[in-house]
Structure 1
Amino acid sequence: MTPAAPVLTARALLLDMDGTLVNSDAAVERSWGVWADENGFTLDEVMKVSHGRQAHATMAVLLPDRPAERNLADNRAMLARETADTDGVVPVPGAPAFLAALAGLPHALVTSADAALAGARMAAADLPVPAVRVTAEDVTASKPDPEGFLLGAATLGIAPADCVVFEDSEAGILAARAAGMRVVGVGPRAADLGPDAHVEDLTRLRVTAAPSGGIALYLTEPAPVPTA
């Protein structure tokens, strides 16, 4: 049952993609597995720092003395590989209904993917790409830098304090906090990262236009477990 009072209200929502709207974990791990093997890392070592960041930013964390040009070249190769590999990319539960509820309400996609990869993954998950989007080409710094979220808010014409970000990763939540925005954490990675609200997936959320204007977010109870 939807509670009487919203857990959060906002004038706009800013949405991460991977882990928030789409489950691309298998494809991400396949791509990073190739890079890890080539550069002497285990996949676990890479995945501990990769979530939410652009690939070249992850490489800079793992190989701080490596020339930026090599990281950018590897980043381009990885983006091409990921764009071509959408096997197993599916929507996060509840994402189709969530995006449908946002039709006509101010929202934007803010992702570390480039436009081609974002389009490929959203298409693979059969999700509409929001009309306003911020992708890797639009920013000079990767999450956890707040640039992407600030650009998304500015494009929508909404003050940062009036935005709520949906994120699954530490880098993304840090970026939202640095932008002065509130956060709904989505999925298990976000549970212990201090979001203002947390949901296991988007089935646990209802979105409506607020009576006084803006957007109201409601957390819902899990469906009851059938009894024999």
Structure 2
Amino acid sequence: MLQTMRGAIFDLDGVIVDTAKYHYLAWAKLADELGFAFTEEHNERLKGVSRMRSLDILLEVGGQDFSEEDKLVMADKKNKLYVEYISTLNESELLPGVKDYLIGLRARGVGIALGSASKNAMFILDKLNIAELFDSIVDGNKVSRAKPDPEVFLIACAELALQPVDCVVFEDAEAGVQAAKAAGMQVVGIGRPEILKDADLVVAGLHVLEGLDRLN
């Protein structure tokens, strides 16, 4: 699978960098201002989910309801808090093995794409100093349907000028694994096997794959 792939499509949060903690801090602050607590356990429900759906889940937790107009204002406020938190990101926050693995793929001629729900993906990749390693960046500004819908991965595949069968997706969320499978792609799960049980291979991180490539 990994030795024959022609395209590699990566999720962002939890695969390239761990910005989940900053998302959580921003959502928790918003919830606090609305008068209820939003815990890390609640936050697990937001993994791999779009911003507006995440807000709906947060409001469900707080038992609150607002107009669509108010929710757009809240989502924008949360994003501004998040961008403020991640403004200090730098290359040191790349997850282990990420840059070496991407460089290795480029040396093999594998097309590299990002497939993320984040609307801040380009900002984050620039902060991490790895944007130039991607041939295609498909983020929340390019898609209208959130994972587990396969749209984000199908667009990335098309931008790499490849077929789904030629691509492998690297994902840390169950919804992302489902999206990749729905797109007709194989999946490497990054994280815990019990959560990513439908992935074709599960590893702790890209550093594991980078190490395996050196052995092959």
TM-score range, shorter chain: 0.7 to 0.9
* Larger relative contact order (Cα-Cα within 8 Å, sequence gap ≥ 6): 1
**Paired position in structure 1 for 2:182:** 178
Pick the aligned partner of 1:146 from 147, 150, 153. 150
1:46 and 2:42 correspond:
yes
Structure 1 residue runs of 5 or longer lacking an equivalent are 1-5, 208-217, 222-228
**Paired position in structure 1 for 2:131:** 128
Within 1, Cα distance between the matches of 2:213 and 2:201? 9
Count of residue correspondences: 203
Within 2, Cα distance between the matches of 1:201 and 1:47? 21
Change (3 A) 1:151 1:93: same
Query: How do 1:9-28 residues align onto structure 2 when only pairs under 5 Å count?
Result: 9-28=4-23
**Paired position in structure 1 for 2:205:** 201
Match for 1:78: what amino acid? Answer: K
Within 1, Cα distance between the matches of 2:162 and 2:210? 22
Q: 1:68, CA displacement in angstroms?
A: 4.0
Structure with the higher helix share, 1 or 2: 2
1:60 and 2:27 correspond:
no
Change (3 A) 1:187 1:45: closer
Q: 1:157, CA displacement in angstroms?
A: 1.8
3-state SS of 1:113 partner: coil
Change (3 A) 1:9 1:60: farther
Within 2, Cα distance between the matches of 1:132 and 1:124? 17
**Alpha-carbon displacement from aligned partner over 1:168-210 (angstroms, at most 9, x marks no partner):** 112211211221211101124x653221111111111139xxx
3-state SS of 1:206 partner: helix
Identity of matched residues, %: 31
Q: 1:126, CA displacement in angstroms?
A: 3.3
**Paired position in structure 2 for 1:224:** none
**Preserved contact between residue 54 and residue 113 of structure 1 (Cα < 8 Å):** yes
Q: 1:18, CA displacement in angstroms?
A: 0.8
**Alpha-carbon displacement from aligned partner over 1:103-162 (angstroms, at most 9, x marks no partner):** 242121111111xx2133223333335131101111111112111111111111211122
**Preserved contact between residue 31 and residue 58 of structure 2 (Cα < 8 Å):** no
Change (3 A) 1:74 1:177: farther
Match for 1:56: what amino acid? Answer: M
**Preserved contact between residue 107 and residue 132 of structure 1 (Cα < 8 Å):** yes
Q: 1:41, CA displacement in angstroms?
A: 4.2
**Paired position in structure 2 for 1:212:** none
Change (3 A) 1:127 1:34: same
Change (3 A) 1:161 1:30: same
Q: 1:14, CA displacement in angstroms?
A: 0.8
3-state SS of 2:4 partner: strand
Match for 1:206: what amino acid? Answer: E
Change (3 A) 1:100 1:7: closer
Structure 2 residue runs of 5 or longer lacking an equivalent are none
Within 2, Cα distance between the matches of 1:220 and 1:159? 27
**Paired position in structure 1 for 2:110:** 105
Structure with the higher strand share, 1 or 2: 1
